[in-house]
Amino acid sequence: MNARFRIAAGMTAIAALLAALTTLLVWALPAMAADTVVARAALPPEALSWGFLGAAVATGLSAIGAGIAVANVGTAAIGAIAEKPELFGRLLILVGLAEGIAIYGLIVSILILNRLA
C-alpha cells in the first residue's frame, strides 16, 4: 500500500511541475514577443536568459515541493480521517496550505518576468 502512495505522490509532483511550466510558458512567450527590441536594449541578453531561467526554477521547484508536501500531508490526513472523520475541515486547510507553496513560486516567477519586461 505504501508503494501506491509513493507512485501517487510522484505523479502529483510531475503533474504540478508540468502545469507550472505550461503556465510559465504562457506568461513568458507574450512577454518575449512584445517589444523585444526595447527589452534587448534595456537588458543584456545574458541577464534576460538568466531571468527566464530563474523564473522557471522558481516555479518548477515550488511545484515539486508542493507535490511532496501534499503527498505527505494528504497521506497523514487520510489516515487521520479514517480514525476521526470530524477532523476533515482542519485537515483540508492543512492540505490547502501545502498547495500554497506552488502558488508562491508562481507569484515569484511572475514578478521576475515583470521585471524583465
Residue 110's identity, in one-letter code, is I
Q: Provide the CATH number for the domain around residue 40.
A: 1.20.20.10
Collapsed DSSP state (helix, strand, coil) of residue 45: helix
pLDDT of 46 reads: 78
Grid cell at residue 19: 502545469
As for how many domains the chain has, the answer is 1
Which comes out higher in pLDDT, residue 77 or 16? 77
* Residue 45: domain span: 2-116
pLDDT band of residue 9 (cuts 50, 70, 90) is low
- Length, in residues, of the chain: 117
Grid cell at residue 5: 502512495
Per-residue pLDDT reduced to its tens digit, 51-108: 889 999 999 999 999 999 999 999 999 999 999 989 888 888 888 888 888 999 999 9
Contact 109, 77 (CB under 8 A): no
Q: Tell whether pTM > 0.85.
A: no
CB-based contacts of 94: which residues, under 8 Å, 6+ apart? 73, 77
Q: Which of 48, 60, 62, 61 lies closest to 113 in space, CA to CA?
A: 48
